[in-house]
Structure formats: structure tokens, C-alpha cells
Amino acid sequence: MNLPTPLSTPPSFSTALAEPFQPIGIQVSDEQKLELLEYWFSIKKRKWAILGFAAACAVVAGAISFAVTPVYQGVSTVQIEPGQSKLVSFEDVYGGAIQAKEHYQTQIEILKSREVAERTAKALKLWDNPEYAPDEHADGLVAKLKTMMGLGALQPPTEDDYLRGATKQLQDNISIEPVRLSQLVKVNVESTDPALAAKLANALAENYILNDRLAKFQVSQQASKFLQEQLGDLGEKLRESEQALQTYRQSKGIVSLGGSAQTLAGQQVGGTNEQLVAAQARRLQLETVYQQVARASKEQYGGISWIMRDTSVLGAQARVTELTQKLAQQSQTLGARNNLVLQTQAELQAAQSSLRSLQAAVVDSLTREYQAALATEKSLERALSSARSGVAEVNKEEFQLAVLEREVQTNRELYDMFMSRAKETNLAGEVQAAIARIVDPAVRPEAPIKPKKRQLILVALVLALFAGAVVSVLLDKLDNTLKSGEDAEARLRLPLLTALPAIDEHNHEQMARLFIEEPNSQHAEAIRTARTGVLLSSLDQAHKCILVTSSIPGEGKTTLAINLALAHAQTKRTLLLDADMRRPQIGRRLGLNANAKGLSNLVSGQSTLAECLHTVADSPLLVMPVGDLPPNPLELILSDQFKIELALLMQQFEIVMIDSPPVELVSEALVLAPLATSTILVAKAMSTPTPLVRKSIARLQRAGANMLGVVLNQLDLTKASTYHGQHYGAADYGYNYGADAYRGAGYSSAEARSISSRS
């Protein structure tokens, strides 16, 4: 029983985290590697030229550095104070405090200023020094030119002219170097005289400090003069304002100070206003009772509370009440005619009469009191109105008085302030703190700073090496030819069948038979390599037709076709067919009769196949030359008869090697390419442009050619080895197909020679 295979569980998150960290590497493609190698080999192959150029540049730089006059540098270190140490407050004279950084940068610029340099040049009379002396020859030349042009002669230079020239030259030789994170600056002065360089550095620092002192003194003097002028004007204004204040006080009769008159007037208005309010309240109270009394009759006075609250009326009313009660009791007990009753009645009448008199008196008093309250109210209203008018006038006078007093106070404050600052300015002008001090005076330099011989020579050497490398790479980049087998494969993207070495001491006839005459040469070994490549292509195909062509004439396609055919003839039945009917070369190079029949005669039917085939001495190779040159080669190749004859030849021979015209000149190669089983393109090393070879390959492939590969011809192995760092040739790889190699393997001399000749 087969158990089901359990499903594999996906990796957990923890497993994924447990994987080791993989750093991201820089991926370099094969093309980039090849390009970097090209750069390296380009520099390597011209290394001696580059080194020679660099050495020459170093020698020239050394000669220049030793010929140049040495320049020395005097260095004086100066400490710049972050702020000005003053005995009194003096910010207003200099316009306020300056930020430390801005102050530091300002002092550095002052150190480099023309004024300090001019003061130094004048103090040392630099124009008398040969290094700073004016160029009289230049002036003389200008004078001669002006005289020749009719502009008159130049005036002789004055001392000011010498001073300007020396100052400008000194400024060019000065450099100020701030010391990082400190208040120090280095004053550097260059000169060809070491003693003068130190002297100038110290003099420049001293004159910088002196220049600052003089500038402060001038500013102090100007400020003092300004303050004195302002003090006179302010004193006059103060006197005028005080006189105007006194005159106003006298004209208005103001004797109180500090606003007391205005205070009294205000108090008076306030008191009168309070009295008026009280009088109005009293009048309103009396007016209410007065109106009530005026509306009532005398008999109704008893119902008015104001009248009844009077003490005399209260007493009279109590007497009336008492007598009334007494009369009522007596009348009940004694009778109406009783004398006591009559006496009580008389007393009651008298009491009532007294009550009415008292009530009338209270009413009269109320009337008088109301009229008096009304008169008091009106009087207070008039007094309040008069007091208010007085207060307004006092306010007006007090306002004008305050204006005059403020003007006096302002003028007095300004006068006092300017008087104080004038005293401070005079004191500050007498005592000034230095803006800087010399920390480390310059000493006579022992060694020059320019020229730096070692540095100059080293820089020249490095720059020359770099320039030489760049030029070498640029030359190879501009050279778009094929320089090696690897270069050909990388650029053409076709396999390299072989690389034929360049041979200079052979003519065309010798080159055609080189495979037979020099079987042990590198050239013959390269032909064998190409033969192997052809045989290994399409192993199942018994009959092969190989087309050999090139992009342009002179690339060695005919030589390759002949030698490759000779190599194939050693092992297979081979035919060499010359299809280049415009410039036929095979018959002449192999020593055939010039009138020998060939391809054109066979296709046209003028000759038989046997008449058109020719043998090669010392080789089983059969050759079919062009024969009679046809007037229309392309039409001959395009004919059906040509195709039939080519098919018959491919049946009779195992290898048919066709030499065709160049691709870029005529079209025969494009017609022959689809008829052949394989096509080989020959390119001349370091001669044929790569774009042209690519174009030829593209045209052949569009025509239907089966590109077998590329043969790189006339390759200079020495240059190629230098360029790509690789070696070509059998001997370099440890292979040797000569008789010596076979003898080393245990064969006799005769056997070795026999095997070597057969191979």
C-alpha cells in the first residue's frame, strides 16, 4: 500500500529570519569586464611609451623647478582681540557692538587692505629694494612708443608712482591664514629674500595695529568735535526754553508748581458739586411737602405727617386729645351744664385754637424753608458753573505750562547726555586699547616654500602617467578594428575559427602553398584549427560547400580558401572553386595556365567537367579556376545552370571550397551564400573596421547565409599578446606538431618525419 506523500510545509517566518544575511554585491557584466580588461591591456601594451613620457615630464618639471628663483615666506602670528577693551562706554561712537565672527572677518580683510600695505611700503621704502624696484625698461619702452607716435615723452615717475607700484606688488605677495578655532591669524609675506620676507611680515602686523590706533584716534577726534558743536546748540536751546517757561508763568500769574493750581480748582468744583447735590435733595424733599400743604385746607393740616411731626404741634395735639377725653368723661358723669364741663370745654377750645396756630406756624416755616432751599440750589448752580469755567481756564494754562516744562526737561537731558559723552570721548581718545598684538614675530625662513621640487616632480609624473594612460585608451577606443580573437568574438558575436599570424616575408604565391611548404609553421597549425572547425560543423552532412568571403579586398580570403582547401584535401575529396570572376586569383597563385578552362566554361557549356578541373602539385586537391572572364558575372551566377552544376559538384566532392568576391563591393557573395552549406568571413586584424564587418555579416545573414564563423587574418601575435595578455600559437600552449615532437614521443627520426608530413 502506497502512502500519500505529505505536502511540504512552507517555510515559517522564523525560518526565513534564521537565514544568514547576504550582502549585496556589485554585479559586473561580461561586457563590462571585457571593457575593463581592454583598458588594462591598452595601457599595458604602451607601458614603455607611457613611462617614457612620464619620465620626460618629470625631468622637465625638475629642470623647471631648479631653474625657478626660490621664494621664501615670512610668517608673523597676530592675535585679534574679540572685543575692544575700553575704560568707558564707547559703543555709541563706533556704532554699537559687532558680532565676534563678523569682527574677526573684518579684521582679516583690514589686514589685506591697500591702506595697511601702503603704510608698510612707505615705512620701509620698498621701491628702493631691487625686488620692488619699478621696471624702468618698461617705462622707457612706453616713452619711446609715445615719442614715435608724437604723443610726447612721459613725465618722470614720482615717489607716489613708486609707492603705488610697490604697494600693489606687496599686496600680491600677502596672504592671511586664519588659525581654526582660535583668535590667531598668520600674516604670510612672500619674497625672494628670506630676511626681507620676515621683515615685511612683522612690519605689516605692526602697521596693522598702528593703523587701527590712528583710525580710532581720528574717529574719537571727529566724535569729540561733533559733540562740542552739538553742546553749543543744545545749551542755547536750553536757555531759550527756560526763558520761555519763566515768561509764561509770569504772564499768567502762576506761582504754584507741580500742577497745584489745577488741583485746587478741581477741589473747588468737587465741593460745590457736592453742596449742589445736597441742596437739590433738600429742595426736592421740601418741594414734595410744600405741594401737599398747598393742596390741603387748614382743617386738613392734621393729616399731613410733616406738620404733625413738629414737636410743638405734637404737644398741642396731645393737649387737645387729653381735654377731649376729659370732656367726654365729665359730660357722662357731671352733665353738660356743669361748670367743670364748661370749664373743660373752654380749655379744649383754647387748646384747639393753639393747635391750629401752631400748624399754621409750621406751614409758614415750611414755606420759608422751601423758598430758601430753592434759592440755595440756584446759587450753587451758578457757583458750580463759574467754578467749571475757572477749571477749564486753569487746565489750558497748565497744559501750556506742561509743554514748556517738558521742552525744558528734554533740552536739559540732551545737554547733560552730550556733556557726559563729550567727557567720555575725550578720555577714550587719550587711552586706546590695541585691537591686536603680535604673538609670534616672523623669523628668517631657512627653506623656500616655492618651488616645491619634489611635489612638482611627483605631480608632473602622476599627471603624465594619467595623461598617457588616457591617451592610450583613447587611441584604442578610436581604433575600431579587430585586435584579437577574443575581441572579434565579443564584437561580432560569431565563433572564431582561427587566427592566422601575420607573415611579411612571403609573396602571394608562397602564401598560397604555405600549408604544404611549411607544414610545421604557426600558419599551418592555424589552418588545421580552421579545418577542424569546418569538419565538426554539421557532422551528419557528408557533402559540404564552404563559401569564403570578406568585407573588402586585401583581407586574405583567397589565401585562406587555398590553404584551407589544401588542408581538407589531405583527408577528403576536395574541390577549390574560384567564383571571383572579377578579380580571379586562385589560378595565378597556384601556377595554373592562364588559359585554363574553369567555372565560366563549365556553366556556359563550352567545356566538360574534366577539362575544367586541374590538379595542384604535391597535393590531391582539385581546382576549378574562373576560366574565361564573363562580361556579366552576376548573371552567370544567378543562372539555373550554375545552381545545377554546383549541385553536381557537391555530389562528387566531399568538400567544395568557394572563393567569392568581397561582400561590400559586389553582390556575388550574397547570391552564393544561400547556395553554400556554410559561410566563412575573413577579416584582417587591426585593419578592417568592426562596423564594416558587422554590416557584411548582417547582409549575408539577411541573404540566407549560414555563418560558420570568422577567420582573423594577418594577426600580429606579439601585439595581440601585449594587448590581451594572452599567447597564440601551438608552441605557446605546449604543442608542437613538428618531427621533434614525435621523436620525443618515442618514434624514430624517419617515422617522425613521415607522420609530421602526413599531418
Q: How far apart are CA 525 and CA 737, in angstroms?
A: 8
| 107-111 LR contacts (CB < 8 Å, sep 24+) | 107/80, 107/185, 107/435, 107/436, 108/80, 108/176, 108/178, 108/185, 110/208, 110/211, 110/212, 111/78, 111/176, 111/185, 111/187, 111/204, 111/208
Q: Which three cell numbers stand for residue 289?
A: 411737602
What are the mean pLDDT values of the chain's consecutive 10-residue runs (759 residues total)?
41 42 53 73 83 91 86 87 53 49 83 86 83 62 59 65 84 87 87 86 86 77 73 74 73 56 62 77 74 67 68 77 79 77 79 76 77 79 71 64 74 75 62 73 85 86 90 81 82 90 75 86 90 85 89 92 93 93 90 90 92 90 92 91 93 94 92 94 90 93 93 80 49 39 44 46
Please state, in angstroms and rounded to a whole number, the distance separating the CA atoms of residues 578 and 603.
Answer: 13
Phi–psi pair at 543, nearest 5 degrees? -115, 130
Residues 6+ apart with CB under 8 A from 170: 117, 120, 121, 126, 132, 189, 200
Region for 313 from its dihedrals, namely left if φ exceeds 0, alpha if ψ lies in -120 to 50, beta otherwise: alpha
Strand ranges inside 527-573, DSSP E: 544-550
> What CA dihedral angle connects 507, 512, 515 and 518, to 10 degrees?
-20
Instruction: Give the Cα separation of 126 and 118 in Å (integer).
Output: 10
Between CA 486 and CA 488 the distance in angstroms is 5
Q: Which residues 6+ apart lie within 8 Å of 751 measured at CB?
A: 742
Residues 6+ apart with CB under 8 A from 48: none
Give the cell for residue 732: 605557446
Q: Which residues have C-beta within 8 Å of that of residue 288, sequence separation ≥ 6?
A: none
How many whole angstroms separate alpha carbon 208 and alpha carbon 420?
Answer: 31
Three-state SS at 650 = helix
Q: How far is CA 382 from CA 269, 393, 469, 686, 733, in A?
A: 12, 17, 118, 132, 143
Cis upstream peptide for 691 (omega within 30°)? no
339-430 and 194-252 helices, crossing angle to 10°: 150
What is the rounded distance in angstroms from the CA atom of residue 73 to the CA atom of residue 449? 7
Can you tell me the distance from the alpha carbon of 144 to that of 153, in angstroms, rounded to the nearest whole number? 7
Q: Which residue has the cell 586574405?
A: 556
The amino acid at 83 = G
What gap in Å lies between CA 381 and CA 277, rounded to an integer?
10
Residues 543 and 573: their CA atoms lie apart, in Å, by 10
| Cβ contacts of 63 within 8 Å, gap of 6 or more | none
Distance (Å, whole) CA 327 – CA 551: 176
The span from the CA of 262 to the CA of 245, in Å, is: 17
Cell 614720482, located at residue = 158
* pLDDT on residue 426: 61
Q: Give Cβ neighbours of residue 587 (< 8 Å, ≥ 6 apart).
A: 578, 593, 594, 596, 598, 614, 623, 625, 626
In terms of phi and psi (left: phi > 0; alpha: psi -120 to 50; beta: otherwise), the region of 593 is beta
Helix 30-45 to helix 485-492 angle, to the nearest 10 degrees? 140
**Three-state SS at 449:** coil
Task: Give the largest CA-CA distance in the chain.
Answer: 216
Identify the CA nearest to 123 among candidates 35, 232, 214. 214
* DSSP string of 341-391, one letter each residue: HHHHHHHHHHHHHHHHHHHHHHHHHHHHHHHHHHHHHHHHHHHHHHHHHHH
Rounded Cα–Cα distance for residues 698 and 738 (Å): 40
Backbone dihedral angles phi then psi of residue 335, each to the nearest 5 degrees: 100, 165
Answer yes or no: are the C-beta atoms of 515 and 566 closer than 8 Å.
yes
pLDDT at 267: 67
